[in-house]
Structures are given as C-alpha cells and as structure tokens.
C-alpha cells in the first residue's frame, strides 16, 4: 500500500468536481477542506466537506481565482495538499508555485509543465522538436520572404491564421491554392484590426475534424502510462457536450499510434500527475492540438472502462508515490459515454438559464454514474459555468451505452430551471451520432438538433397547467355545468 | 373568462369549464374534453386527456409552472390579468434597462440622481464569461440601481431605472 504524506486536502473548486474529489478523499481516509463563496454555501460539496472556509471577491468567480485567500485557507485547514480541479486556477503556473512555496503539495503537474503546455506555440514547437506530428505549417516570422512559397508547399486545404489570434477571428480556409494570396491579405488586415498584429501563420486544414484526446499519468520516477483515448467531437461553441471512449473512429492500429504518441509527448516533457494530450483527427491522420495539464471534465468515461480512480492516482502521485501499475496492467472494458447536463437553452442559442431547483431526481441503475454538484432547493445562478451535472453510462457496446444514456436523460427529473436535457436526448437518438459519424462541426451542420421541435403539441401541458392553477379552476367551478355546455353550443 | 399562459414567449389563451367527467378545455378553436387531474404525493399527478392517463411531475413557483410529461419538461408562466395591468402602471413615466440574460454585475458606471445621455454606459454585466455593457436607451436621470457590483440577477430583471427628465 502506498503511503501518503498528508492527511488533509484543500479543494480549490466548486460544484460537481469538488463533490467528485471529496468522494475519493473519503475512500482514501483523507480529510477534505473546501473554500466557497457565499453563493455556494448550500451546495453539496460545501455540505459534504469536513471543513469549509468562506472566501470572498468582487464577483463569485473572482473569489475562486484569489490565490492568496485560497492558500491562507489551506494553511488554516492544515492541508498538506491542494487539488485545483479543472478551470479556475488549475492551469496557473504561478498559483502552483505559490502553493508549493507555502509547503503544500500541488495535486497536478510541475509549474514548468503548466508553463510549457500553456503557451500554444511553445508547446507545438516542443512536440515537433521531439519528433511527434503537428499539423504541417508555415510560420511567417521564421522567414517572411519565403512565407508564401512555404505555405504553398504544404498543399491545400490550408488554414490561414493570425499569429496573435484566438476565437476564430481572422481565420481563412483556402481550398484552392490560387486564392492563397487573397486569403493572406484578408487575414492580415483582420489580424491588424482585431489584435493590432498582422503576423500570420498557415497550417494544414483538416476537413470535418474529430477531437480525440488521450489520458496520461506520470510519476516522479520517469514512468508514464496512457489510459487510452476519449472522443469529444460533439461540441457547441468549442465546448464539449458528449464524450465517449473508445472512439468509434479509430482502428486498433491508429489507436495504438495515437495513445503511444500521447505517452511519448508526456515522457518527453517529464510530465508528472494526470494530463490529457488533445489531437485533431481527420483523413486517417492525427495532429497534436494541445495538452491540458489537469484533470478533465470528461475523465469519468476513462474511469468507467479502466476501473482506475484518476483522482486517487493524482493524490498518490502528488504525494511522491510511484505509479501503482504499468502500461500492460491497463485494460479497457466496454464502452462509456458522458453527457453534460447544463443550465442552458440550446433552443435559444444556448442562452444560460437560472432558477431554483424545485424537484430533482436522478435515474439510477447498473453502469450508471451521476457526478452532480446540485441539490433540490438550490438556486442556479449565472455566476458560473452552466454545467451542473454529468451523466455517465457504461455498457458492453457503444449502441447499448447510447441507449442507456438516452434512457437516463429521459428519466431525469429536474424542475425549476430549464436545462439542455431534451437536447442531449435528441443527440443520443440522432442517426449520425448513433452511427459514429460526428465531427466538431456536427451541431453547426445540424441546427435542427439544437432547435428542437417548437411546433410540437402543448395541449397536455396547457391542460395540466390550467387544472393546477387555482384561479382558473375556481372560475371554472363557479360556472354551472349546464351554462358551460350552453356556452359551447353558442359558438 | 379567458386565461393565458406564456410558453417560450408565446401566449396561449384558454378557457376551462366543467363538464360531466371533469373539465372541458378550449384552446383557440380546439376543444378538449373531458380532462381531469388527480394529485398524488409530492409533485406527482395523473392527467387524463383524450382517454389517456399521463403520469405528470410538476412544481409550482409563484406564477411559474414546471410540468414534465413523457420525459419532456415545459415551463409555463400564468399571466394573471390583474397583475399584468398593475406592473405596466408602475413603470409608467420610467424607463428601465433590463437584463438580456442572467448574469452578474461587474461594474456600475453611474450613481442615482446622475443625469445621463442616450448611449451612455450604465453598467457592465458578465454572463457566460462575456462582458456586456448596458447603455442608457435615452436622455434622462438615474433613478435607481437595482443590483450592486458582484450581485447576480435573473433574465429580464430590471437593472437600472431611469426617469425621463433630467433633474
């Protein structure tokens, strides 16, 4: 049995991921402490933790980003380690450094790894230098005089991007090389307008790309393993909605290649703790996209098929333990799918929704896991990310998993705050999803899935509402039956 | 008497009257009868409609009714005719800046009593990690600021009330 050097862990996060971390800490016999902003005072994570310490901020989000308050709370709780969860400060190298300087173990990679992978160009160059595949590209700065000819050499289709870019601004797709000159001029002018920087780079454009990522774990003794892949191609606005493993798109040979590439990148980076290497996959080829240096939202699908508790491994690795297994010990069994339940209305452009949760009942059954951060009676506000829970299923095959997820979403009862549950159900019943033919543009290409059927019959809902509304029922009861009948005939 | 419910911004007028085995519902030009609803324990009931029994889950929160039938959830707002009238009168002579979506106040740029001109920044709000500036719809003066910095609000909440005349 691996021994831990601490007995208390501070969780610098909230919602479902905080609950999920507390569950593992309990299993390991470790005390959990949590920081919380007042708006979260009555949430499950705060109620479950052994110790809860209030923090404040100009906005609720700013409280969870206040490293000084969080480190003070960790000291106050006598925490020997800190788990950042995902989002907030989880990929902030300066925070990781400050935590370590306070004598507290940071449950994550080294600050150097966070820095390396946090800078997208540096990360890409690092991966390329170590001999792994990145999308073929031409960077203008390398040699401005030969930029266009280097770009032409890559061959169509190409993507022209401003170097300073982000959020898709200024990007141009070039399908015929004779339009490359125009695309460069347009992208440069947009780059100047949006970012005050006209420098460009060009890379191979992957048509209808799929998003495939690989979970890795590394220890301080140079051991790195991968825990196979996850596919997260169902996305809206660059945010994942449904994730699964194994990917229906990979052949056994490609799976082995992509997973070994991920482990190789992590090994080259001397990576410690849990991380995820993300790839773009299309046309039988995959290219490094980025590495996330933290636990991912979608980690439960990997846990379902491998039987490995990733948070427990993170805790042991942060305590300086050696990995408890080698690559050959890792087996994947069956198929797992996760769907993200969000307080938002896909039917109205994914606008966030709010409200008090009046009734909450989760489905249960074999191979069904719910990671939830909400309670009945809780107010859902727009202060945070709209994701409120995850429904994860595990079945022998992909089609059985999709059916189980569909049934689980249909059985879920959440009244009081509009959610994306019906939308999730529509994806899980969609032919393209069921046949595994999705790519990152799938939801944009099929707007009817988000729109739903607005023309559907509301009679049963209106009948129920009328019968449940006292003034309506009272005014109906005040009309003698005979008169009511006459009233109808007169029409 | 006609009653109305709003679903996703659409008004539905209806009329309920008694009939032999329960009630008769008139929806626009359609008549559905008989319908009946029997309550069961905690937020459960059974709707009988067109000879079918449909298990229903529901929750009522003020004028909002949350109804779930066959795995589909619908939110209906009961439009009380008296209340609608009252709120219209209350706002007469005042201009309000409402929240386009739920969010949090990041910054307030004006204070009560301050004269403002059309297009002037009143408040910065944050929703879905995006900041949005709420601007004055016309010239006037700030009457009231309804939320402090850091406070969260719901969709359609009145953020700032303006009086039409400059003081």
State the complex-level ipTM. Answer: 0.82
Residues of B in contact with A452 (CB under 8 A): none
**How far apart are alpha carbons B116 and B110 in whole angstroms?**
8
Nearest CA in chain A to B70: A410
**How far apart are alpha carbons A380 and A16 in whole angstroms?**
13
How confident is the model at residue B129, as a pLDDT?
A: 61
**How far apart are alpha carbons A365 and A306 in whole angstroms?**
19
Whether A490 has a pLDDT exceeding 50, the answer reads no
Whether B92 has a pLDDT exceeding 90, the answer reads no
**How far apart are alpha carbons B151 and B103 in whole angstroms?**
9
**Between these two residues, A481 and A227, which has the higher pLDDT value?**
A227
Decide if B28 touches A, using CB distance below 8 A. Answer: no
How confident is the model at residue B149, as a pLDDT?
A: 87
Domain residue ranges in chain B: 2-79, 84-163
Residue A74 · residue A33 · CB < 8 Å: yes
Mean pLDDT over A174-200 rounds to 87
Whether A491 has a pLDDT exceeding 50, the answer reads no
How confident is the model at residue B107, as a pLDDT?
A: 87
- Which residues, 6+ apart, have CB-to-CB distance to B151 below 8 Å? B104, B105
**How far apart are alpha carbons B152 and B167 in whole angstroms?**
29
Chain position carrying tokens 């402490």: A33
User: Which of A158, A162, A169 lies closest to A200, judged by CA?
Assistant: A162
Decide if B3 touches A, using CB distance below 8 A. Answer: yes
The top-level CATH class assigned to A8-107 is: alpha beta
Residues of A in contact with B18 (CB under 8 A): 476-477, 479, 481, 484
Give the three-state DSSP class for B136. coil
Residue A6 · residue A105 · CB < 8 Å: yes
Residue A213 · residue A230 · CB < 8 Å: yes
* Single pTM value for the model: 0.85
Question: Per-residue confidence at A483, pLDDT binned at 50, 70, 90?
Answer: low
Whether B81 has a pLDDT exceeding 90, the answer reads no
Question: What percent of chain A lies above the pLDDT cut of 70?
Answer: 96
Whether B91 has a pLDDT exceeding 70, the answer reads no
Cα–Cα–Cα angle for A488, A489, A491, nearest 5°? 75
Best probe of the A interface among B65, B81, B129, B157, by most A CBs < 10 A, is B65
The top-level CATH class assigned to A210-451 is: alpha beta
Indicate the fold that domain B84-163 takes in CATH: OB fold (Dihydrolipoamide Acetyltransferase, E2P) (2.40.50)
Whether B75 has a pLDDT exceeding 50, the answer reads yes
- H or E element in which residue A73 lies: helix A67-76
Runs of H (alpha helix) within B14-152: 81-90
Question: Per-residue confidence at B62, pLDDT binned at 50, 70, 90?
Answer: confident
List the 125-154 stretch of B: residues with Cβ below 8 A of A.
126-129, 149-150, 152, 154
User: Which of A487, A18, A106, A38 lies closest to A319, judged by CA?
Assistant: A106
Most confident region among A119-133, A190-204, A384-398 by mean pLDDT = A384-398
Residue B50 · residue B34 · CB < 8 Å: no
Residues of A in contact with B37 (CB under 8 A): 463-464, 467-468
Mean pLDDT over B98-106 rounds to 81
- Rounded to a whole number of angstroms, the distance from the CA of A98 to the nearest CA of chain B is 26
**A347-395 residue pLDDT tens:** 988 989 999 999 999 999 999 999 999 999 999 988 888 999 999 999 9
- Of the CATH numbers 3.30.1490.20, 3.40.50.2300, 3.30.43.10, 3.40.50.800, which one belongs to the domain with range A136-204? 3.30.1490.20
User: Which of A338, A343, A368, A341 lies closest to A354, judged by CA?
Assistant: A343
Judged by average pLDDT, the poorest of A4-13, A22-31, A402-411, B109-118 is: B109-118
CB contact under 8 A, B66 and A347: no
Domain residue ranges in chain A: 8-107, 136-204, 210-451
Q: Considering the domain B2-79 in this protein, what is its CATH number?
A: 3.30.700.30
Mean pLDDT over A246-273 rounds to 97
Cα–Cα–Cα angle for A183, A188, A193, nearest 5°? 130
Residues of A that are catalytic: 294
User: Which of B106, B157, B126 lies closest to A382, judged by CA?
Assistant: B126
**Between these two residues, A9 and A452, which has the higher pLDDT value?**
A9
């Amino acid at each position: 049995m691996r021994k831990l050097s601490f007995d208390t862990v501070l969780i610098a996060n909230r919602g479902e991921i905080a609950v999920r971390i507390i569950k593992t800490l309990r299993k390991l016999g470790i005390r959990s402490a949590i920081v919380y902003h007042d708006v979260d005072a009555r949430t499950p994570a705060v109620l479950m933790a052994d110790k809860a310490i209030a923090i404040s901020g100009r906005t609720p989000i700013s409280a969870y980003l206040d490293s000084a308050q969080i480190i003070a709370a960790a000291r106050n709780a006598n925490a020997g380690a800190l788990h950042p969860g995902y989002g907030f400060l989880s990929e902030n190298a300066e925070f990781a450094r400050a935590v370590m300087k306070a004598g507290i173990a940071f449950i994550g990679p080294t600050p150097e790894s966070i820095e390396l992978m946090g800078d997208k160009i540096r990360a890409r160059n690092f991966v390329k230098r170590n001999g792994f595949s990145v999308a073929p590209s031409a960077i203008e700065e390398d040699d401005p005089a030969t930029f266009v000819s280097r770009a032409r050499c890559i061959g169509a289709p190409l993507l022209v991007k401003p170097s300073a870019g982000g959020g898709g601004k200024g990007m141009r797709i070039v399908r015929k090389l004779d339009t490359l000159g125009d695309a460069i001029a347009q992208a440069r002018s947009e780059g100047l307008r949006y970012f005050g920087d006209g420098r460009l780079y060009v890379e191979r454009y992957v048509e209808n790309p799929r998003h495939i990522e690989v979970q890795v774990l590394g220890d301080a003794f140079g051991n790195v393993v991968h825990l196979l892949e996850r596919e997260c191609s169902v996305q809206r606005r660059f945010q994942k909605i449904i994730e699964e493993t194994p990917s229906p798109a990979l052949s056994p040979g490609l799976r082995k290649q992509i997973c070994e590439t991920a482990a190789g990148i992590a090994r080259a980076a001397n990576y410690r703790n849990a991380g995820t290497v993300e790839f773009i996959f299309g046309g039988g080829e995959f290219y490094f996209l980025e590495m996330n240096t933290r636990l991912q939202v979608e980690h439960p699908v990997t846990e379902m098929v491998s039987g490995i508790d990733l948070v427990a491994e993170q805790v042991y690795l942060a305590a300086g333990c050696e990995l408890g297994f080698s690559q050959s010990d890792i087996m994947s069994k069956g198929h797992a799918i996760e769907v993200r339940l969000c307080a938002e209305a896909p039917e109205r452009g994914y606008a966030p929704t709010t409200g008090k949760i009046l009734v909450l009942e989760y489905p249960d059954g074999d191979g069904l896991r719910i990671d939830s951060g909400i309670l009945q009676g809780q107010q859902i506000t727009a202060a945070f990310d709209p994701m409120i829970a995850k429904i994860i299923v595990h079945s022998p095959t992909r089609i059985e998993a999709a059916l189980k997820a569909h049934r689980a979403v249909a059985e879920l009862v959440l009244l009081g705050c509009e959610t994306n549950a019906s939308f999730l159900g529509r994806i899980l019943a969609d032919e393209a999803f069921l046949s595994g033919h999705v790519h990152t543009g799938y939801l944009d290409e099929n707007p009817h899935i988000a729109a739903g059927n607005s023309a559907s019959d509301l009679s049963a809902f209106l009948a129920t509402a009328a019968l449940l509304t006292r003034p309506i029922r009272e005014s109906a009861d005040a009309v003698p039956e005979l008169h009511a009948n006459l009233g109808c005939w007169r029409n | 008497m006609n009653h109305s419910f709003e679903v996703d911004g659409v008004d539905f007028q209806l009329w309920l009257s008694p009939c032999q085995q329960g009630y008769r519902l008139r929806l626009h030009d359609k008549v559905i009868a008989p319908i009946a609803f029997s309550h069961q324990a905690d937020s459960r009931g059974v709707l009988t409609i067109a000879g079918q029994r449909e298990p229903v889950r529901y929750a009522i929160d003020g004028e909002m009714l949350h109804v779930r039938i066959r795995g589909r959830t619908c939110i209906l707002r009961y439009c009380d005719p008296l209340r609608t009238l009252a709120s219209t009168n209350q706002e007469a002579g005042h201009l309000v800046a409402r929240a386009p979506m739920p969010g949090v106040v990041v910054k307030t740029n004006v204070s009560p009593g301050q004269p403002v001109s059309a297009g002037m920044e009143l408040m910065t709000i944050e929703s879905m990690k995006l900041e949005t500036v709420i601007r004055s719809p016309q010239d006037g003066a700030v009457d009231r600021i309804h939320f402090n910095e850091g406070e969260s609000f719901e969709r359609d909440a009145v953020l700032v009330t303006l009086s039409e005349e400059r003081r």
